[in-house]
Structure formats: C-alpha cells, structure tokens
C-alpha cells in the first residue's frame, strides 16, 4: 500500500503574499531533515505539503525527524488511494486493520477539500463507517469518545486515510526571518533561548566565550555537544569560539570586583555584535531571565543593552527556571547542560556583585581598558566551526 506523509503548515498559512516563499523554505528544511532517512518527493497544495517516499524509507524515522522541523503544525502518516468511495473503504479496512481489530469503538471523520467529489463529508463518513462496521464485527460507533478516529481526506490529487495527526514543532520555518547570533554558554537557558528564536524563523549562529586555562577543553566540548543537540531544531549552526582569557584577566586586574561580571558581560555583547555584523545577523539572543542571578536585574540588563546597537532578544526573560528546564528536556539539551563543567562566567565571580549598576559608572570604569582594540582583537581571533544536522 502506498503511504505518504501529510505535513500541515500552521502559521505559514497566514502569511499572505509570502506564503509561497515560506512553504518553499519549509520544504527545503524538511528535505534536509529527511536526507539521512531516504528519498522523498515533495509537493504542496492547500496548506499541506506532501512528502511521498521514493523506494521504501523508514517511515517511522521520517516522522520522528519531521517532528523537530519548525513551521509544521501537524503531521500525519497516511495511506494514499483513489478518489473513489469503494477504494477509500477498502483502503481504510486494510491500512488500519490492526488498529480497527484492537479497539472497540471508532468514528470516521472526513475532510473534503475537493469540492467536485460527489459526496459531502458527512456522507463519506457514514459510508466508510458502515463499511467498517460490516467488516469488523468487534466495532461499534462512538462519536463522543471513540477509541480510534479514522480520518479520511479527499483532496485534489487523491484520497488519504490515516489514524490521526501528530503534533508538529509549531512556529515558522528556520531561515524565514533572517539570522541572529546566540550567546551560548554551557548552561540550561541559552540553548532554550536559541531554539525559541529558531522557532520564530531565525537562523542561529552561536558565539561562545572560552577562557582557557580557567575553563577546560571539556567545558568547550560540552558547548559543542549542546550545539549539535540543537541542530535537529535549528538546522546547521555555525559556532564561533572567542578566546576570552586576556580580557577577563584585564578586568580582574583593572576593575573593582563588584563590577567584574557586568564589565565582562558588556564585553561579551560588544564582541558578539562584532561577529553578528560580519555574519549578517540582525539581533543578539541571550538566555537571560529577570532576577535569575545578580547580573540579570533590570538595571544590569539596561547596562548591557547600551553597548550594542543591535536588538537583544531574550526569549526566556519572563520564564521561571522550571519552565526553562521543561523546555530544555523537550529539546533534549537538558542532560548535557547539567554536566558540571565551569563556564567563564564562574571565573573571578565577585562576592557582592552590583545589582543596581548605572551605565555611566561602567563607562567610566571601562576607561581603564582599551575597549575598542580588545573587542576588535577578540572578533578577529574568534574561530568558527560548523555543526550539521546528523
Ligand atoms: P545559561 O543557563 O544559558 O548558562 P545562566 O542562567 O547561567 O544562563 P549567565 O551565566 O548569567 O546565566 O549568562 C546569561 C547569558 O549570558 C546566557 O544565557 C548566555 O546567553 C550568555 N553567556 C553566559 N556565559 C557565556 C559564555 N561563556 N559564552 C557565551 N555566552 C554566554
Ligand atoms: Mg551560564
């Protein structure tokens, strides 16, 4: 029996004139995700993308792969048949035989987007339901709480039968909204923040600050593993690793201790901006959440914002740690994030960090350093490496 995957694109349907571009981008992303599974032929019609297998790829693996593609509202694995009532009945009976035999109650739901088909949706449901009752004596109809819903879709190019939809990853296709640079630590929050912005259509570039020997190779490896874990959601990610040791030592030696973290964060923003501009990124993304730590008070965030002209997107800003953790689990980044390796943020941590800093005070303190030259040097020294969806 011929099978197909029906990909329902959610919010894309709202995009008016851009709709074609969005759909093309979604198809491109789906293709990339399915490359390692097998060959599929794509077509689109009526807010649905059809992925038809060529040969016999592993359909379960294909569905799993597609479940992480942003821009997909729902997915169904369906049998394809002719637009003929007899063919639809026989197809439903054969394709869903195991499930129909295993349950006691069912109902049929029909969507008929081909308005030239001679029967209306309720009639199709009634006919298919009657046929199934005749062929599966164990079944009775329950329209309110059926064990199984048999879905029939009569569309332009064929009829489809399936046992329901799986939820898609939601959002809009990665790449449809441009690029942004994610400041990624080894923690829980920043990978979640990056994926949240990818879900809003942004392609993500990673920027990580490493301070060897204060931070180890293993800490860097952890970040690389995290970036790899993000690729099923974000697609290909270019990760820049910025050598940050010299700047941190200069901060330690020249800045009052209670301002260490703030000055360091301002350097991070400036350097990330430098890389972002080179990479044609329109924004920076961080995993900051108000009140989570001393450097994430409103006043501290204001002080970091003033050093960059790019918008700083902070998608987890109003989320509780618990909510962020829940998302990290769903993204499958959590287990890596909680491995106990040091981050450059934990090097030279002040005992009493300023929680209500003023940007003017920071500007004055930073006069002790050649900020511009240090930033330029760090941007130049950043090493890039690309991570692909495996
Ligand atoms: P996370 O869980 O993402 O590490 P956090 O709660 O530990 O966040 P901080 O360590 O204060 O918070 O960092 C806040 C944000 O600053 C991070 O979410 C990340 O965007 C950025 N950041 C922190 N350390 C680094 C780093 N070494 N390289 C790049 N970005 C960093
Ligand atoms: Mg951190």
pLDDT in tens, 202-259: 999 999 999 999 999 999 999 999 999 999 999 999 999 999 999 999 999 999 999 9
Dump pLDDT digits (tens) for 160-201: 999 999 999 999 999 999 999 999 999 999 999 999 999 999
Q: Quick one: tokens of 17?
A: 């004139």
Residue nearest to atom 23 of ligand 1 (CA): 185
Residue among 345, 353, 354, 378 whose CB has most ligand 1 atoms within 8 A, to mutate:
345
According to the model, what pLDDT value does residue 291 have? 86
Q: 15 pLDDT band (50/70/90 cuts)?
A: low
According to the model, what pLDDT value does residue 355 have? 87
In this model, does residue 12 exceed pLDDT 70?
no
Ligand at minimal distance from the CA of 325 is: 1
Atom of ligand 1 lying closest to residue 265 CA: 16
| Surrounding residues of ion ligand 2, Cβ less than 5 A | 185, 187, 343
Measure Cα distances from 263 to 60, 191, 203, 312, 357 in Å.
Answer: 50, 23, 28, 17, 11
Q: Above pLDDT 90, what percent of the chain?
A: 89
According to the model, what pLDDT value does residue 19 have? 79
Ligand at minimal distance from the CA of 209 is: 1
Atom of ligand 1 lying closest to residue 289 CA: 6
Dump pLDDT digits (tens) for 307-358: 999 999 999 999 999 999 999 999 999 999 999 877 777 777 888 888 899 9
* d(CA 274, ligand 1 centre) in Å: 18
Residues 6+ positions from 20 with CB-CB distance below 8 Å? none
According to the model, what pLDDT value does residue 77 have? 97
* E strand map for 32-85: 39-45, 48-54, 72-81
According to the model, what pLDDT value does residue 16 have? 67
Q: Quick one: tokens of 285?
A: 């993304």
Atom of ligand 1 lying closest to residue 186 CA: 4
Q: 33 pLDDT band (50/70/90 cuts)?
A: very high
> Ligand 1: residues whose CB is within 6 Å?
183-185, 187-190, 207-209, 268, 286-288, 292-293, 295, 343-345
Question: Once rounded to an integer, what is the mean pLDDT over residues 65-92?
Answer: 97
Alpha helix segments (H runs only) across 103-216: 121-135, 189-199
- Parallel/antiparallel/unpaired status of strands 383-387 and 237-243: antiparallel
Residue among 180, 181, 182, 183 whose CB has most ligand 1 atoms within 8 A, to mutate:
183
In this model, does residue 13 exceed pLDDT 80?
no
According to the model, what pLDDT value does residue 267 have? 98
Q: Above pLDDT 70, what percent of the chain?
A: 98
Q: Give the residue among 223, 232, 243 at the shortest CA–CA distance from 182.
A: 223
pTM, to two decimals: 0.94
Question: Once rounded to an integer, what is the mean pLDDT over residues 294-317?
Answer: 94
- In eight-state DSSP terms, residue 165 is P
In this model, does residue 10 exceed pLDDT 80?
no
- Parallel/antiparallel/unpaired status of strands 3-9 and 284-285: unpaired
Average pLDDT, the chain: 94
Ligand at minimal distance from the CA of 190 is: 1
Q: 41 pLDDT band (50/70/90 cuts)?
A: very high
Q: 20 pLDDT band (50/70/90 cuts)?
A: confident
How many residues belong to the chain?
390
Q: Give the residue among 146, 61, 132 at the shortest CA–CA distance from 96.
A: 132
Measured between alpha carbons, how far is 365 from 139 in angstroms, rounded to an integer?
78
Ligand at minimal distance from the CA of 219 is: 1
Contact 208, 326 (CB under 8 A): no
* d(CA 190, ligand 2 centre) in Å: 8
Alpha helix segments (H runs only) across the chain: 19-34, 59-66, 85-95, 97-102, 121-135, 189-199, 217-234, 245-254, 260-278, 298-305, 321-331, 334-337, 359-365, 371-381
């Amino acid at each position: 029996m011929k099978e197909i995957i029906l990909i329902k694109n959610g919010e894309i349907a709202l995009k008016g004139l851009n709709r074609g571009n969005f759909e093309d981008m979604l198809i491109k992303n789906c293709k990339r995700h399915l490359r390692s599974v097998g060959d599929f032929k794509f077509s689109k019609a009526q807010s649905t993308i059809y992925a038809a297998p060529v040969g016999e790829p592993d359909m379960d693996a294909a569905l799993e792969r597609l479940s992480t593609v942003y821009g997909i509202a729902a997915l169904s694995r369906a049998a394809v048949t002719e637009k003929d009532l007899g063919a639809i009945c026989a197809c439903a009976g054969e394709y869903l035989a195991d499930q129909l035999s295993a349950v006691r109650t069912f109902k049929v739901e029909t969507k008929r987007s081909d308005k030239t088909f001679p029967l209306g949706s309720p009639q199709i449901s009634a006919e298919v339901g009657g046929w199934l009752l005749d062929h599966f004596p164990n079944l009775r109809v329950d329209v309110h709480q059926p064990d199984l819903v048999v879905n029939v879709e009569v569309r332009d190019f064929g009829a489809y039968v399936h046992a329901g939809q799986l939820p898609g990853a939601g959002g809009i296709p990665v790449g449809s909204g441009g690029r942004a640079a994610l400041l990624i630590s080894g923690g829980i929050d920043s990978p979640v923040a990056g994926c949240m912005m990818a879900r809003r259509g942004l392609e993500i570039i990673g920027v990580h600050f490493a301070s060897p020997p204060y931070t180890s190779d293993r800490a860097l490896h952890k970040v690389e593993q995290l970036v790899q874990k993000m690729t099923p959601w974000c697609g290909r990610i270019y990760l820049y690793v910025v050598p940050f040791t010299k700047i941190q030592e200069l901060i330690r030696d020249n800045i009052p201790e209670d301002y260490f973290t703030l000055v360091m964060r301002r350097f991070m923003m400036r350097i990330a901006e430098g890389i972002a501009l080179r990479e044609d990124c329109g924004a920076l993304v961080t995993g900051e959440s108000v009140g989570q730590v001393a450097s994430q008070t409103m006043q501290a965030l204001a002080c970091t914002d003033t050093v960059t002209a790019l918008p700083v997107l902070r998608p987890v800003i109003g989320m509780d740690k618990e909510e962020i953790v829940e998302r990290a689990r769903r993204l499958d980044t959590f287990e890596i994030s909680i491995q106990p390796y040091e981050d450059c943020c934990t090097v030279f941590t002040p005992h009493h960090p300023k929680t209500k800093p003023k940007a003017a005070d920071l500007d004055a303190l930073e006069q002790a350093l050649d900020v511009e030259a240090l930033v330029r040097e760090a941007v130049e020294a950043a090493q890039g490496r690309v991570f692909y969806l495996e």
